[in-house]
Chains A and B, each alone.
Chain A
């Protein structure tokens, strides 16, 4: 097992008859990280989470959580986990307070006072204290989601697994959930699935992208955002662009130039194979020539670019 690994899967697969819901997933989640599990609907995110929790069994491969086997030691694993399902379903005859009390009792025998204090703390954490004694059926979708976060956190878990925690929340609710996740980083490892790219970019350390049951990209968020096409500079120019084009093209560290037009300017995408040489020489080359540089920047990817590349482009490799 890798050092500090909380979750580790090897060839983890799940199929239903002939259809693969998850295909040979190799994954390592390190301690105290916020691990974003990204993919379109049906990518296999929830299947992976259910496999880790022992709610379903793998058809091949294995998973360990805290070094324990997800099939044979499922109950022991769950004693150290907090889990928020994608659509939380609680007993409708309970109130929010009773739901948290019931959840806490799976972990704690007593003392009763300490359990009540923990329940109260959780109600305040998710701002449900004023609605704690109402029947659950009177709570809105967002309030139920917040209750879901509270019940997942009630045991101060070593690993928090959240399945689409912000999917049904309004922007303020989403922001609150992301803030809670960021705060928890100090105490726990957060493994969460989402299809909201912006959330992942805001809080995650490491990202995995799944598509059609397969892992298509994995790595630290900065690494993924640096792109898979290498370093590219975006340059906008005015003047004698043909001469400048030849000059730049002849450089050994330039691997290609994609030329286009934007308004009255020439717009280039300069691909380089030596980032250091490009950084020190490219702009100098241009400003010394017969052109006016109106824009010059190293292209930054956002997660949406990466996601669209690997999902729509059908990439089947690993970072």
Chain B
């Protein structure tokens, strides 16, 4: 039995230990399986189908079209990312694979960050950019002129942030709970009832990302439609709050997972 002299040993220390390998594995689950193209196909197809059906209706205003696009482009993928991520931590805790991976020289932050980064970039490609391209084509066709691509990309960036909110939230719940039911139940309930909850408890408009894509009542204060239509954005505060919430969810996930016992 020879030694390990033929190898270049992993030298990362601390929280980075095992990150490269775990990232490679998680990226593989997005990009080396059918997940990336099936998700891209589903959401691009859905945008194409729904927007295509609406755009052909006479008298449809561009504001309404942009609003519908915002809802279709953010709500569906948010549900999808919640379903995909609900088992990412809790599923691995239940199946024992998390314990196995963490018996190797891999840090706990690396385990969480690999899922976060791979999910974020995976969702960007499959759930934001692919359907965004279709949406860009349809909206440009509807208005008879090309949208400013940079402005449109800005709008897609905010939609991505909404998806990241639900990704990080679900990941956090996975570190807090031991059952998939609790994780998916809380995430989906909050996601699907956002509008009603904001109607009942007004301050929730500053907590839930719904108002980034859909304006409250008849106001024009939602960031994404304003960006897409080239209108001035009244406030970037909801964007900053959402970003901060994502960071808080990630911090809680890292803190809680560090204390987890397997």
Which residues from chain A sit less than 8 Å from chain B, CB to CB? 50, 53, 55-57, 75-76, 78-79, 81, 83, 85, 87-91, 93, 102-103, 105-111, 114-115, 118, 155-156, 186-187
B8 touches A111 (CB 8 A): yes
Instruction: Show 12 A/B contacts (Cβ-Cβ < 8 Å), sorted by A.
Output: A55-B262, A56-B261, A75-B18, A78-B106, A89-B95, A105-B20, A106-B104, A107-B9, A107-B104, A109-B9, A155-B4, A186-B1
Give the contact stretch, choosing among B21-29, B134-142, B152-160, B208-216.
B21-29
CB of B102 to closest CB in A, whole Å: 6
B103 touches A109 (CB 8 A): no
> Given contacts A106-B18, A109-B8, A115-B7, is CB(A55)–CB(B105) below 8 Å?
no
Interface size on B, residues (CB 8 A): 31
B102 touches A55 (CB 8 A): yes
Q: Tell me, in angstroms, the Cα distance from A114 to B262 when the chains sit together.
A: 32
A residues within 8 A CB of B29? Answer: 93
Which residues from chain B sit less than 8 Å from chain A, CB to CB? 1, 3-4, 6-11, 14, 17-18, 20-21, 24-25, 29, 33, 95-97, 99-100, 102-107, 261-262
Chain A, Cβ-Cβ closest to B1: A187
Q: By CB atoms of chain B within 10 A, which of A102, A106, A110 has the most?
A: A106
Report, nearest first, the 6 A-B pairs whose CB atoms are least far apart.
Answer: A89-B96, A79-B105, A105-B21, A106-B104, A108-B7, A56-B261
> Given contacts A56-B262, A156-B3, is CB(A106)–CB(B10) below 8 Å?
yes
> Given contacts A93-B29, A106-B21, is CB(A114)–CB(B7) below 8 Å?
yes
CB of A114 to closest CB in B, whole Å: 4
Total inter-chain residue pairs, C-beta < 8 Å: 88
Chain A, Cβ-Cβ closest to B103: A83
> Given contacts A102-B25, A109-B9, A155-B4, is CB(A50)–CB(B262) below 8 Å?
yes
B97 touches A55 (CB 8 A): no
Q: Tell me, in angstroms, the Cα distance from A106 to B7 when the chains sit together.
A: 12
CB of A292 to closest CB in B, whole Å: 57
Q: Tell me, in angstroms, the Cα distance from A107 to B12 when the chains sit together.
A: 10
Q: Tell me, in angstroms, the Cα distance from A63 to B232 when the chains sit together.
A: 62
B96 touches A87 (CB 8 A): yes
A residues within 8 A CB of B33? Answer: 93
Q: Tell me, in angstroms, the Cα distance from A177 to B24 when the chains sit together.
A: 32
B105 touches A106 (CB 8 A): yes
B103 touches A85 (CB 8 A): yes
Q: Using A75-B106, A89-B100, A107-B104 as known contacts, list a sample of 9 further A-B pairs with CB atoms less than 8 Å apart, ordered by residue number in A.
A: A53-B103, A83-B103, A93-B33, A106-B105, A109-B7, A110-B8, A111-B7, A115-B7, A118-B7
A residues within 8 A CB of B100? Answer: 85, 88-90
A107 touches B103 (CB 8 A): no
Q: Tell me, in angstroms, the Cα distance from A110 to B107 when the chains sit together.
A: 20
B residues within 8 A CB of A81? Answer: 103
CB of A148 to closest CB in B, whole Å: 9
CB of A4 to closest CB in B, whole Å: 20
Q: Tell me, in angstroms, the Cα distance from A90 to B95 when the chains sit together.
A: 9
> Given contacts A78-B105, A89-B97, A156-B1, is CB(A108)–CB(B262) below 8 Å?
no
B residues within 8 A CB of A156? Answer: 1, 3-4
